[in-house]
Amino acid sequence: MPATATLTRPTETPSDIPARPSVLRVVRSVPDEAQDRGPAAPAGYERGLVATSEAVDEALHAGVARLTGGISPAALATAWADWAVHLAFSPGKQAELAVKAARKGARLSDFALRSLLYGERAEPCIAPLRQDHRFDDPAWRAWPFNLYQQGFLLTQQWWHNATTGVRGVARAHEAIVAFTARQMLDGVSPSNHPLANPAVLGETLRSGGANLVRGALNVAEDARRSIGGLKAAGAEAYEVGREVAVTEGEVVYRNGLIELIQYAPATGAVRPEPVLIVPAWIMKYYVLDLSPRNSLVRHLVGQGFTVFMISWRNPGPADRDVAFDDYRRLGVKAALDAVAKVLPGRPVHAAGYCLGGTLLAIAAAAMARDGDARLASLTLLAAQVDFTEAGELTLFINESQISFLECLMRSEGTLDATRMAGAFQLLRSNDLIWSRIVNSYLLGHRELTTDLMAWNADATRMPARMHAEYLRGLFLDNDLAEGRFRVEGRPVAVSDIRAPTFAVGTEQDHVAPWRSVFKLTLLADTDVTFLLASGGHNAGIVSEPGHPHRHYRVRAKAAEDRYVDPERWVEAARFAEGSWWPEWTAWLAARSGPPGPPPPMGQTGAPTLGPAPGGYVREA
């Protein structure tokens, strides 16, 4: 299939279930003319007026969204207004903040005096948070830099007190205000300014300013790449199919949305039940098949499993009407049907990562509802089925924000990859934005690009309709967890799934917080083994054997067992050092039959469609 093919072919059309209307599509229940006493308006006048006004508003919102990175100014203004009004009517809170400001000023003055008397031996009056490494350099303990960082930390603490605990402020608005205040403060941190950062000043003196020259060149290079739509510097060292995504295999099925890769066996005998992996389509699939040393796919085939992988096509503007259910129908369902043609009658171990795991859970629930028993087991990797505590990504998931984002997506047809990447970076701005600016532009050091970083720069787009349905149905309304999510016109429920389930959360996940992933154990009425791995959303999953400083906790829950909350679960779970991959493959092996001869590559009698990694993964 040519790379420009879309999903609008007669044989594979997007779902014809109408999309949920945007807030901009609301029709007035009482026409304006009903209240007019003048001459009747021409036929169709009201419809034309509404359409025109909506078009004007949508064009304005889309234009503003391009400037704000998709963030709704109305959503921010509403949150800050809620906070400001309630603070204005809270004289007790105002007095408390005034007292705290005076005390912090006195503490800083005391520290300034002690630092003059005792120098670097003066005990600081406030310490950074455990995850804050901006002031780790010993040079920050020398005067006057110690005053800069102590003053900043005290200010940061005061603003946290000011933006939280104001009686009457909506919880969602409080979280937005606290988050945006933290982002603004991070921007003015002394660590980000060359004249206030001792490490930058020291490097400038030592190198005669060469670091600033290198930094300026890095700025120019990054700007050139951004304007030209090129990958980040260093990412070209990891070419798909050459350095990454190199596990041997064949494309055995293709439609307008996916290619299905079957990987070649690496052992003389394999388990009869294949493993089908459903990755997220927010990024390319090969995070699970990176370099040979840290490829989850290579690990699985090395343990005697036949592995199939979905590779999603990167959509373009022509795919604006592709629905969320199309990803289930033309993705998971089509892949299962293709696997059944290669291995007829074999139950499948299905595994889904991130958004792919959420989609897989929906597909599994629909299969269970309809009596489809093809799943031998279900594995969800950093995937959520309940979105009530989905972390800081939910801060801007409200009607105002989604409506604003819909205007942008409808004007472009897709959500651009850079906007999604920017949202993820904001969640860890100190690590992913400001520290990189300091290192690359002020110190002039280029960070060594890893395979995981190169994959992270290989972003994809998302169809407008699909993403709007995903944000509304799952993040905003939590339809899946609450039994309202519909597949083929009927609701599905996670509790219908009976396949044994293995779920993985990661300790430092900012995208799918592990306590949110853990809610599966509350919703599922089947045997669930939950594993909590060290690391974050990506690095915690890509955790190969031999990776240093890795550990995990694991505990199984039978269908009839009582619920255990996350805190008690951590206390009761078994702790182990090392990679969690062997734990999972042992779990799969215990639910598989004895090894036998490897299956054919592809459907018997049908040619394969080319070697792995296929063509879709290479689409820009």
End-to-end CA distance of the chain: 16
Residue 236 pLDDT = 87
pLDDT at 307: 98
* Integer Cα distance of 359 and 267 in angstroms: 31
Query: Cβ(473)–Cβ(501) under 8 Å?
Result: no
Calculate ∠ Cα 297-301-245, nearest 5°.
Answer: 35
pTM above threshold 0.75: yes
- Type of residue numbered 132: D
What is the predicted pLDDT for the residue at 422?
A: 65
pLDDT tens-digit series, residues 132-141: 999 999 999 9
- Residue 316 is predicted with a pLDDT of 93
Q: Say how far apart CA 573 and CA 568 lie, in whole Å.
A: 9
Q: What integer pLDDT is reported at residue 6 of this predicted model? A: 46
Q: Which of 212, 283, 307, 354 is catalytic?
A: 354
Long-range contacts of 31-37 (CB under 8 A, 24+ apart): none
- What is the dihedral sign for C-alpha 380, 383, 387, 388? positive
Query: 7 with 14: CB under 8 angstroms?
Result: yes
| 175 vs 57: CA distance, rounded Å | 28
Q: Is 354 considered catalytic here? A: yes
Per-residue pLDDT at 8: 43
Cα angle, residue 543 at apex, residues 461 and 239 outer, rounded to 5°: 45
Rounded Cα distance, 357 and 379, in Å: 8
Query: How far from the centroid of its chain's Cα atoms is residue 225's Cα?
Result: 24
Return the number of other C-beta atoms located less than 10 Å from residue 531's C-beta.
24
pLDDT of residue 15: 43
Quick check: 578 and 254 in contact, CB under 8 A? Answer: no
Residue 431 carries which DSSP code? I
φ and ψ at residue 489, rounded to 5 degrees: 85, -5
The predicted structure's pLDDT at residue 25:
39
Task: Provide the pLDDT for residue 34.
Answer: 43
Question: pLDDT at position 429, please?
Answer: 74
Low-confidence ranges of the chain (pLDDT < 50): 1-6, 8-36
Peptide bond preceding 582 in cis form (omega within 30 of 0):
no
| Angle in degrees, 0-180, between the axes of helices 210-227 and 198-207, rounded to the nearest 10 | 110
Q: Is the N-terminal amide bond of 598 cis, ω within 30° of 0? A: no
Supply the pLDDT for residue 391: 81
Which residues have a Cβ under 8 Å from the Cβ of 558 and sit 6 or more positions away? 527
CB 511 within 8 A of CB 424: yes
Confidence (pLDDT) at 14: 45
